[in-house]
Structure 1
Amino acid sequence: MLSVAEAEKIILNLIHPFNSEQDSELIEISQGLQRILATDIYSNWDLPHWHSAAMDGYALHYADLVDLELNLEACQFAIAPTAIAAGHNNQLTLGNREAMRIFTGGMMPLGADTVIMQEDTEVVMTEAGKFLKLKAKPTQGEYVRRQGEYIKAGDKLLGAGTRLGATEIGAIAAIGQSQVQVLRQPKVAIISTGDELVSLASFAKTAHHHGTLASGQIIDSNLHALAALVTQAGAIAIPLGTVADDRQAMRELFQRAIAEADLIISSGGVSVGDYDHVEQLLESLGADIHGRSVAIKPGKPLTVATISKPAHRPIICFGLPGNPASAMICFWRFIRGAIAKLNGANPREWVPQFIQAHTTQDLHSQGRRETYLWGELTYVKGKPLFAPKQNYSSGNLVSITSTKAIAVMRVHQTYVPQGDQVLVMVI
């Protein structure tokens, strides 16, 4: 039986990230959310494009303040007749001891290097006309966005492997780029196995006739939960459906998965029962088995295999337990990171994020395997608090809803008292 750390290492070593030349595509940035950059992106121009005002106020030449020896009472500027608004291509020049009205985003006039915000000024009338009086001394360069202050033309904006979020997409748009080269999304086939399973589609078609399930039957929820997790991880889910414990039917479905997908996830049929056929089926298809069980609770019967495919990278196969909580724990702990690596994501995404949190209740485990207890994560005055659920049956899908974090109790750790810290995997 593999330890959790050993299983993680084996899985990640089996994954070879997509190649930026063979496994990439050009897309519009409007379709780029959560996609992974295949290449570096360099800025086409300086940002900002020109010197501009960061505040409504008046543009002036700081040296004029020095000339007046910082005597604010005597520090008066003539007000230029023209005001500068954002979006106007002004080629204006500031006169000697002159201030020019400017609004946020407005292009700085030639000769100006400082903006004093309007709240620190006062317009006074004299016999000679209107003048600007300063009520506070600005610092040189204050409230001015300098050309190229954010990024220079030719500088790298984003590196290959960056996952695109809203801010990254906005920055790409700001440099005038409407398309990006991204790695293609992995295709993940999902199969549920078991005589007891009824597909949701089949049940929906017959429910008005029967009104309930037959004795011993359960609706296949794993297909839908795993498909959602795959999509959430940035891959393309291919739910191939529910199949009974029939060797030939399973073989045909797995062969289809091998033909269509980069990665296969099956649930059920990986324990040691008479109807657990997945591992033998994979071997009959030429798979190399790299792991059969992991010292994790829930999720012990976990099969990890690879199937060679001509002119293609090996297909990675995960045989998960059929119990819903076990399947989801295994996905969060192992498969999500595998998809991230395959997808070319930054290495920090290959492994789960762990933090220390204070538990709101006592935590218990048998200590024989690394135990995962699901719950909710909240923050009180910046301190993370883990609130465990009440029922940890691996078949209880209801109890795992709204899960935001999972407490991890190490091997031989049997008790964590309320208020103590515990290692928590953030979902």
Structure 2
Amino acid sequence: MLSVKDAETIIFNHVQPLNQEHDLEIVDLLTGFHRILATPVISALDFPHWDNSAMDGFAVRYEDVQSSTPENPTILEVVQEIPAGYQPKNTIKQGQAARIFTGVIIPKGADTVVMQEKTKLQENRVSIFSAPQPQEFIRKQGDFYQAGTELLPGGITLKAAEIAILAAAQLPKISVLRRPRVAIFSSGDELVTPEQTLKPGQIVDSNQYALAALVRELNAEVLMLGIVKDNPTALIETINYAINHADIVLSSGGVSVGDYDYIDKILASLGAEIHFRAVQMRPGKPLTFATFTNSLYFGLPGNPVSALVTFWRFVQPTIKKLSGINRGWESKFIKVKSHCELKSNGEMETYIWGNLKLNNGIYEFEQTSSNLNSGNLINLAQTNALAILPVGKTLISPGEETLVLQIE
């Protein structure tokens, strides 16, 4: 049985991110949100595009106003007003000023802006009551970004700010990586859909819905393959279809040592390299990881909590890395104080679900309830973290630090 760390290393070493040569798509900005930028973006525009004002006020020559005081204001002739979107026509000469507004082009001859609160306008004359700093409130062309250099790197997730930048750079079409494709199915004769009448001994298949929601949350495509009965022929057909149509395959159930657990044998028959069948963790011990030429296979446990814990611990970072994100795909671990007593038998790396809460400015972890069971899906609701007790650790006392996996 592998340690969690060894299992993680094996999985991540087999993840080959999507790349711009084979996995490129061209999309418009409105559909680019949350997509992965495939290649670096270079703009032909400077930002700002021209020298412009950072304040409403008056564009002046610094040498004219450098000695201005409330007692001895400088009086200048206002020779033009420059509204937004207007190209200045006059050059500011000695003793002159231009009325100007935030974001508009600085007229030739002017090198400083005096904010309007330090002035008084009377007809076509403006009194300057305070000496500005040289080039004050001037945003120079290219101060924020210079044309021809890298505007955005490849491998980033396009969020609102990045979409705005691309729009401002007049780049309505962008190159992104395609979304990873994830096939999901559940295995077991006992499983029924939420629409079916529940009979004694049957279980509603909640795993497929939870896994699909988590995959979609990662902006990957979901291929739902439904419930597959414990029938070798049906399982072979489903798995064979999945590995030929998806980058990642997630099955739940059918990977323990029961008489009707056929998954591992079928994987081997289809040419998979099975890397491990169990991990030293609770919940989530019966986890299979296998690789095919063009796909990764995760055989998740059938118990609902076990399936979700193994997804958060292994599958979520796998999908992120596969998607082509250049950094930040790893799981997020932090050390926090435990609000309550956490227990384990010490034999397995143990994951206890609960919540990170802010207490007097310090984050603490609080276990969701005392009834922790891998089949108890109910008390997993509204949780946002998993406290981790390493192998050999049986007790974490209140106030003691513990490592926590943040779940999204």
TM-score (norm 2): 0.95
Distance (whole Å) between structure 1 residues aligned to residue 23 and residue 126 of structure 2:
65
- Aligned partner letter, 1:89: Q
2:165 paired with 1:185: no
State the Cα distance separating 1:413 from its structure 2 match: 1.9
State the Cα distance separating 1:382 from its structure 2 match: 4.3
Q: Of 379, 386, 392, which aligns to 1:399? A: 379
State the Cα distance separating 1:241 from its structure 2 match: 0.3
State the Cα distance separating 1:381 from its structure 2 match: 5.5
Q: Alignment length, in residue pairs?
A: 406
User: Cα gap change, 1:374/1:61 in structure 2, threshold over 3 Å: closer, same or farther?
Assistant: farther
Q: Name the counterpart of 2:105.
A: 107
Task: Confirm or deny: 8 A CA contact 2:77 2:95 kept in the other structure.
Answer: no
Distance (whole Å) between structure 2 residues aligned to residue 216 and residue 92 of structure 1:
87
Task: Confirm or deny: 8 A CA contact 1:62 1:113 kept in the other structure.
Answer: yes
Task: Confirm or deny: 8 A CA contact 1:44 1:176 kept in the other structure.
Answer: no
Q: Name the counterpart of 1:238.
A: 223
Task: Confirm or deny: 8 A CA contact 1:270 1:301 kept in the other structure.
Answer: yes
Distance (whole Å) between structure 2 residues aligned to residue 76 and residue 382 of structure 1:
52
SS of the aligned residue for 1:20 comes to coil
SS of the aligned residue for 2:81 comes to coil
Most deviating of 171-180 and 104-113? 104-113
2:10 paired with 1:10: yes
User: Cα gap change, 1:132/1:163 in structure 2, threshold over 3 Å: closer, same or farther?
Assistant: same
2:220 paired with 1:222: no
Matches within 5 A, 1:114-153: 114-123=112-121, 130-134=125-129, 136-153=130-147
User: Cα gap change, 1:61/1:367 in structure 2, threshold over 3 Å: closer, same or farther?
Assistant: farther
SS of the aligned residue for 2:38 comes to coil
SS of the aligned residue for 2:147 comes to coil
Matches within 5 A, 1:189-228: 189-201=183-195, 203=196, 207=197, 213-228=198-213
Distance (whole Å) between structure 2 residues aligned to residue 383 and residue 96 of structure 1:
60
Q: Name the counterpart of 2:300.
A: 320
User: Cα gap change, 1:329/1:85 in structure 2, threshold over 3 Å: closer, same or farther?
Assistant: same
Most deviating of 412-421 and 299-308? 412-421
User: Cα gap change, 1:18/1:145 in structure 2, threshold over 3 Å: closer, same or farther?
Assistant: same
- Aligned partner letter, 2:378: V
Matches within 5 A, 1:267-346: 267-308=252-293, 314-346=294-326
Q: Name the counterpart of 1:420.
A: 400
State the Cα distance separating 1:386 from its structure 2 match: 2.1
State the Cα distance separating 1:123 from its structure 2 match: 3.5
Q: Flag structure 2 segments of 5+ consecutive residues without an equivalent.
A: none
State the Cα distance separating 1:71 from its structure 2 match: 4.2
User: Cα gap change, 1:144/1:214 in structure 2, threshold over 3 Å: closer, same or farther?
Assistant: same
Task: Confirm or deny: 8 A CA contact 1:359 1:387 kept in the other structure.
Answer: yes
Distance (whole Å) between structure 1 residues aligned to residue 393 and residue 156 of structure 2:
37
SS of the aligned residue for 1:5 comes to helix
Distance (whole Å) between structure 2 residues aligned to residue 123 and residue 426 of structure 1:
58
SS of the aligned residue for 2:337 comes to strand
- Aligned partner letter, 1:218: I
Most deviating of 91-100 and 189-198? 91-100
Distance (whole Å) between structure 2 residues aligned to residue 61 and residue 388 of structure 1:
66
Q: Name the counterpart of 1:387.
A: 366
Q: Flag structure 1 segments of 5+ consecutive residues without an equivalent.
A: 208-212, 309-313
2:15 paired with 1:20: no
Deviations 1:364-388 (CA, angstroms, capped at 9, x unpaired): 2222211111222233564223222
User: Cα gap change, 1:215/1:291 in structure 2, threshold over 3 Å: closer, same or farther?
Assistant: same
State the Cα distance separating 1:26 from its structure 2 match: 0.7
Distance (whole Å) between structure 1 residues aligned to residue 240 and residue 226 of structure 2:
13
User: Cα gap change, 1:109/1:409 in structure 2, threshold over 3 Å: closer, same or farther?
Assistant: same
- Aligned partner letter, 1:230: V
Q: Percent identity between the aligned chains?
A: 44
2:237 paired with 1:252: yes
Deviations 1:104-152 (CA, angstroms, capped at 9, x unpaired): 1111111222222222333468xxx733232x43222222221111111
Distance (whole Å) between structure 1 residues aligned to residue 388 and residue 95 of structure 2:
68
Most deviating of 105-114 and 371-380? 371-380
SS of the aligned residue for 2:305 comes to helix
State the Cα distance separating 1:90 from its structure 2 match: 2.2
